[in-house]
Structure 1
């Protein structure tokens, strides 16, 4: 483990998690992106399509493909925003609500399994380190300072 870089461990772990979720989702004719979207859509009031991309951390083109597929499968419906006729609100259908619960139970199972295998202290450290990495990236403290020094 000591020869592996931090970014390698993050990437390899995320790829393993994504592969696991996609394998599980494929049993139900879905994908990890579909499950994540189902969990990101407010089950009571729907979610504006413009808010969904940032909430999920997805690019617009990927989100558009995912939503189109979900609509074709009868998981969501698009409705005009009553407060802004130009906007669209994504709502879950009854089938979408059912699949959302399935996605939720899958995520809960993953989290419970990890919590059984990893001590609370180690999990807390993992969360803290992840937050620091995210902060360093969002604050552009990894490469931006280096670029400023070159000028």
Structure 2
């Protein structure tokens, strides 16, 4: 069966393995912050710019409301974010950081360097990898 696809030759498996390994590196640091990896991603978006609408957050993170809503509820229960309805349109909900959520930003500042150190790649190699992955992601989204 020489024509059978090999696991070690599959891009999808390399991406899956790399993602799991990166998440494993993040896990102990995020546990110290009291966050899961998906919660950390939400916080990253909010630290960049807030408030953010729930739909906007979902688009940016590639998450549907069924996945994002429970994440936001847990972050709200942790006292890191609050959901506020728009005065103009009650259907719109904006996510705001609380002072505790804002303060967590400084504690999380060293997290990206932790992955960089663990990866053993130069900053230029990491940037090239990020660019290649972004290009791949965009092309795959377009193909669907």
Residue matched to 1:113: 117
Match of 2:72 among 67, 88, 104: 67
Residue matched to 2:129: 126
CA contact under 8 A between 1:36 and 1:56: conserved in structure 2? yes
Kindly report the root-mean-square deviation, in angstroms, between the aligned alpha carbons of the 2 structures: 2.7
- Alpha-carbon distance in 2 for matches of 1:119, 1:35: 22
CA contact under 8 A between 2:8 and 2:14: conserved in structure 1? no
Residue matched to 2:3: none
CA contact under 8 A between 2:25 and 2:115: conserved in structure 1? no
Structure index of larger Rg: 1
Offset at residue 18 of structure 1 (A): 1.4
Counting matched residue pairs gives 138
Alignment of 1:34-53 (within 5 A): 34-41=39-46, 45-53=50-58
| Matching of residue 31 in structure 1 with residue 50 in structure 2 | no
Can you give the 5+ residue segments of structure 1 that lack an aligned partner in the other structure? 145-151
Moved over 6 A (4+): none
SS in structure 2 opposite 1:27?
Answer: helix
Offset at residue 26 of structure 1 (A): 1.1
| Matching of residue 99 in structure 1 with residue 104 in structure 2 | yes
Alignment of 1:53-92 (within 5 A): 53-92=58-97
The two structures have a TM-score, normalised by structure 2, of 0.78
Residue matched to 1:22: 27
Offset at residue 76 of structure 1 (A): 0.7
Can you give the 5+ residue segments of structure 2 that lack an aligned partner in the other structure? 1-6
Deviations along 1:47-67, one digit per CA (max 9) or x if unpaired, are 111111111122322211111
